[in-house]
Amino acid sequence: MKIYIGSDHAGFELKEILKKHFCAAKEFEDFGTFSNESVDYPDFAHKVAESVVTDPENIGILICGTGNGMAITANKHPNVRAALCWSPEISTLAKQHNNANILVLPARFIDTELAIKTVESFFNAEFEGGRHQNRINKIDLQ
Ligand code: RB5
């Protein structure tokens, strides 16, 4: 399983930290941004979301200042379930109950250690299926 990752300038440093921390365990495909220079978060959210839709066995990580811009944009894509998470408990439930396929982090509102634990929990959690699958089946509008 590959991890598609993207951020804007606000999430750039955390993106680099996460890649470095998890590089032994996970393969990353990085869609940018690649510096602290100001950019527009939808450009990166769309790339990661499109990749997750094309290769559903893979998952995504998106990072911006609040996480909201990335989550709002990614969730425009049918079959994307992007979950804004700021604790390991929330990221675990995002996978167990929502089968989230993109984890979104709020770089300006989470410290590095907590962000790492939040990502680790997301990686380790498994979708529970059952009643949660019935609910997921009702999300997309078409
Ligand atoms: C960038 O300043 C900031 O607006 C962006 O990172 C994000 O928080 C948007 O949702």
pLDDT tens per residue, range 88-109 = 999 999 999 999 999 999 999 9
Q: Please give the distance, rounded to the nearest whole angstrom, from the Cα atom of residue 33 to the centre of ligand 1.
A: 13
d(CA 102, CA 31): 14
- Catalytic: 85? no
Indicate if 23 belongs to the active site: no
Of all protein residues, whose CA lies closest to atom 3 belonging to ligand 1? 65
Q: What is the pLDDT of residues 42-78, one digit of tens each?
A: 999 999 999 999 999 999 999 999 999 999 999 999 9
Strand order in the sheet with 59-64: 27-30, 2-7, 59-64, 102-106, 82-84
CATH architecture of 2-136: 3-Layer(aba) Sandwich (3.40)
Model confidence, pTM = 0.98
H or E stretch at 131: helix 131-136
